[in-house]
Amino acid sequence: MLYRASTAWARVEVFCAATLAASVSGLILLNVVTRAMGNSIYWVDEAAIYAMVWMCFLAASAAVHHRSAVAVTLIPELAPARVGYVLGRFADLTVFVFAALLIWICWRWFMPLELARQGFDIKAFQGATFNFVYAEPTNTLGIKKVWVWLVVPVFAFGALLHATANLFHPAPAEEDTP
């Protein structure tokens, strides 16, 4: 069940990342056309950057599920099969620990319980915690940066889900092919 949830979440992440990749291309094309016409739209650059950031985080989380992230595989490939298996499990555990730590860091960064204690009043939250995560605006889009930064806890959740599923569903052994 956990692996199926991870698979479903990875599909959503890949779909969203692909949609964001298309939007980045569209935004860059819009920027080129409007600049060529001498009438550039000032917020397009920032929107393209944020779309690419979200795309990268979502794709990286999906890569954890598919075990397709960039890796140095020299030692596992040269080592006996059992050592390679243990190193793969160690890598899965390392990703799990990283994702769990990132969840904890996000919890400390966004401070949702303290925000709730302040009655979801942003100014009271800022006064009590000196945390301005919910108030800082983007430069040109005019939205709060928290909407951009939310990709970090979304990534952390996805990576933790995928890493947990990978721990309980080890990678199949690769067969030696000539």
**Per-residue pLDDT reduced to its tens digit, 88-139:** 889 899 999 999 999 999 999 999 999 999 999 999 999 999 999 999 999 9
pLDDT band at 176 (very low <50, low <70, confident <90, very high): very low
CB 157 within 8 A of CB 103: yes
CA atoms within 13 A on the CB side of 63: 12
Residue 164: predicted pLDDT: 95
Most confident of 73-82, 126-135, 167-176: 126-135
What angle separates helix 151-168 from helix 81-110, to the nearest 10 degrees? 150
pLDDT band at 177 (very low <50, low <70, confident <90, very high): very low
pLDDT at 175 over 50: no
pLDDT band at 68 (very low <50, low <70, confident <90, very high): confident
